[in-house]
Amino acid sequence: MENRFTSSFPVSCQNSRDYNLTTICPDNQTVNSTSPALLNPPAFGMSYFTMTLGALSNLTALAILAHSYARLRRRAKVPFLLLASVLLVNDLAGHVITGALALHLHLGRVKHHWLAVIVEPPPVYCKLFGGCMVFFGLCPLLLGSAMAVERCIGITQPLLHPTIVTMTRVRLTVLLITFTALVLAGLPLLNVGDYKPQFPGTWCFLPVNSLLSITDANLALAFSTLGLVTLTVSVVSNTISGLKLFQARFKDRCVKSTITRRHGSYSSSPLHSLDVEMMTQLAAITVVSCVCWSPFLIYILISVSRFYEGIRRPRRPCEKMLLLALRLASWNQILDPWVYILLRRAVLRRLLQLLQPDRLVFTHSGSYADSHRKKISLH
């Protein structure tokens, strides 16, 4: 590989034919350096912690979704449950697979730390790691966008929702999302572009900070653009759905006020508890995705744009910024399952009861689409 790992600790001039090692030979460095960075091996305890936390969180959220599906088999929620389950399975697989690959590189750095050398993984390993990073990075963004569009149709067009959003189409959407992410991730495996080791030598990805080829730049641009487009679609769809729910809530209050003035009593209509629950979860997922992924995607977009403009930046500060953005993006897979753990209807009902103990906000009713159909049938 043309790009070698960079490291925070200095290394000495050694020549080893028994290992696939790359050494850096600074003029002012000797073998007997007492640099603190050299004396302390790279810490990887946090990687173990985050991988374990992410796996347990996703398994817990999957169990909650399975229980919800077995207890509540309503047509309006089945597509959402399917997409949410696929999202959590993807998060779980991505967290475990990429975490294991990163831990392997961490352990390699610790193993060869006292040799003061930098281990360069085989090209096949780096390509596999980079492909997993791209695939498991794009899939959650695309699935979150699909969930937002599905809920937007269900809330704004409740009567057409069963016709438009069929289970066959949902499954085809999942397959299309998987195929799209797989194609983009697999192109470097077919020698269309390449994956390179990234600072500090514990992960591989499309080259962003180094000298890029046109193919590498185009792939990185496609990754960041597709990710930002999916985030935009999610925000727009959730905004439309939220405004529709607020409009329905406002109309419900107006009807209640009018009937109360005329008859003195009013039996409250269902307040679309399923829609409120799903929209709350979607809003949280969108916020988490935007906060976690936006810095990483925007950084890649800016770096590639400056490459096209012929602007070169200092490499080391840029590598550190990219690493920080990646660490923030990795928390998306940890926080996603907690949306389903904490923002369930039972938890929301209890929270609202604590805030407004004299009012029962959620009922055991169906979704907005179900209540809308009931009103149509009564006429």
The pLDDT tens digits for 273-284 are 667 777 888 889
Q: What is the pTM of this model?
A: 0.78
Residue pair 30/11 in contact by the 8 Å Cβ criterion = no
Quick one: CA torsion of 272, 276, 282, 285, rounded to 10 degrees? -160
Distance, CA of 202 to CA of 102 (rounded, Å): 6
- Least confident range from 76-80, 152-156, 338-342: namely 76-80
User: What local confidence, expressed as pLDDT, does residue 199 receive?
Assistant: 83
345 confidence band (pLDDT: 50, 70, 90): confident
So what's the pLDDT on residue 359? Answer: 53
Residue 200 pLDDT: 80
Instruction: Specify the DSSP class assigned to residue 205.
Output: E
> Range with the lowest mean pLDDT among 10-24, 92-106, 273-287, 345-359?
10-24
The whole-number pLDDT of residue 262 equals 65
Higher-confidence position of 209 and 256: 209
Contacts of 81 (CB under 8 A, 6+ apart): 65, 68, 69
CA distance 343 to 340: 5
Q: Smallest Cα–Cα separation from 297: which of 234, 237, 239, 231?
A: 231
In tens, the pLDDT along 156-215 reads: 988 888 899 999 999 999 999 999 999 999 999 998 989 998 888 888 999 988 678 899
What pLDDT score was predicted for residue 270? 44
Residue 138 pLDDT level (bands cut at 50, 70, 90): very high
Question: Looking at this protein, which amino acid is placed at residue 69?
Answer: Y
pLDDT at 62 > cutoff 70: yes
Higher pLDDT: 224 or 99? It is 224
End-to-end CA distance of the chain: 72
Q: What percent of the chain has pLDDT over 70?
A: 68
Identify the pLDDT of residue 4. 37
Q: What is the pLDDT of residue 108?
A: 73
Nearest by Cα to 369 from 75, 17, 121, 85: 75
φ and ψ of 191, to 5 deg: 65, 25
Domains in the chain, start-ordered, CATH in brackets?
A: 42-258+270-354 (1.20.1070.10)
What is residue 326's predicted lDDT score, i.e. its pLDDT?
92
333 vs 20, higher pLDDT: 333
More confident call, 245 vs 31: 245
Q: Is the pLDDT higher at 294 or at 191?
A: 294
On the CB side of 2, CA atoms within 13 Å amount to 7
Higher pLDDT, 276 or 360: 276
The more confident residue out of 129 and 159 is 129
The answer to whether residue 117 scores a pLDDT higher than 50 is yes
